[in-house]
Amino acid sequence: MSNINYDFIIEYISSMQPDLKGNLKEIEDYGKENNVPIVTPIMHRFLEFILSIKRPRNILEFGTAIGFSSILMSKYASGKIITLERNERMRVVADRNIKEAGLEDKIEIKFGDAIENVKNLDEKFDIIFIDAAKSKYQEFFDVSYPMLDDGGIIIADNVLNKGDIAKPIEDIERRNRTIHRGMNKFIENMLNDERFETVLLPFSDGVLLAHKKEVE
């Protein structure tokens, strides 16, 4: 099983999603044809659901790929989206897709290592979406936390890594053990961080949601 849930349930829910708007369908198709990982249909509806409630000003995204999720999220942000990507091939395609959608003034791609680029930002964000290297989630959190507004939300995708994260480490191939340790530590830290209300949810590839409490 490649998913953490039953395939027939995922197919059922995915088939019930409304049609994608603008150039998102083309981008999704390009992703499938070229094996570019983008948010699943269930995750993308979940993002839209959360953002339709939160109505953020600025969003920070770790992992642009070809721009699917940043274009999707841009509809809900009144300010801007800063999205971080280190792969040149991805950056070029994302740039083209963002321009085609007419969103070049709203979505800014910062090219290079995400952690280095975040250090140079001085914006504040209401949403931080983490969807990049699984071995670095804790570092992504640490570097971006000071920029998260009170009441802001962290959304981290793929935190269960096809279920591996929930298995004992002895059952994990040696080359994947760093991710296993790092992600387990990140999840444990977040669930015990009293500055946040945090929940770990078993859909998509595992999603962690953390709401930063308002200062009283």
> Applying CB under 6 A, which residues contact ligand SAM?
37-39, 63, 65, 68-69, 84-87, 90, 113-114, 131-133, 136
Q: Between 2 and 192, whose beta carbon lies closer to ligand SAM?
A: 2
Q: Provide the minimum distance between the beta carbon of 191 and ligand SAM in the complex, in angstroms, as a whole number.
A: 23
Q: Provide the minimum distance between the beta carbon of 140 and ligand SAM in the complex, in angstroms, as a whole number.
A: 8
Q: Provide the minimum distance between the beta carbon of 120 and ligand SAM in the complex, in angstroms, as a whole number.
A: 14
Q: Provide the minimum distance between the beta carbon of 88 and ligand SAM in the complex, in angstroms, as a whole number.
A: 9
Per DSSP, the three-state class of 189 is: helix
Q: Rg of the chain's alpha carbons, rounded to an integer?
A: 17
Q: Residues near 1 by Cβ (< 8 Å), separated by ≥ 6?
A: 7, 163
Q: Between 54 and 86, whose beta carbon lies closer to ligand SAM?
A: 86
Q: Between 121 and 195, whose beta carbon lies closer to ligand SAM?
A: 121
Q: Between 73 and 210, whose beta carbon lies closer to ligand SAM?
A: 73
CA distance 147 to 138: 15
Q: Which residue has the tokens 């300010």?
A: 79
Residue among 209, 43, 205 at smallest CA distance from 127: 209
CA distance 152 to 196: 10
The angle, 0 to 180 degrees and rounded to 10, between the axes of the packed helices 137-144 and 177-191 is 40
Q: Provide the minimum distance between the beta carbon of 27 and ligand SAM in the complex, in angstroms, as a whole number.
A: 8
Q: Between 85 and 95, whose beta carbon lies closer to ligand SAM?
A: 85
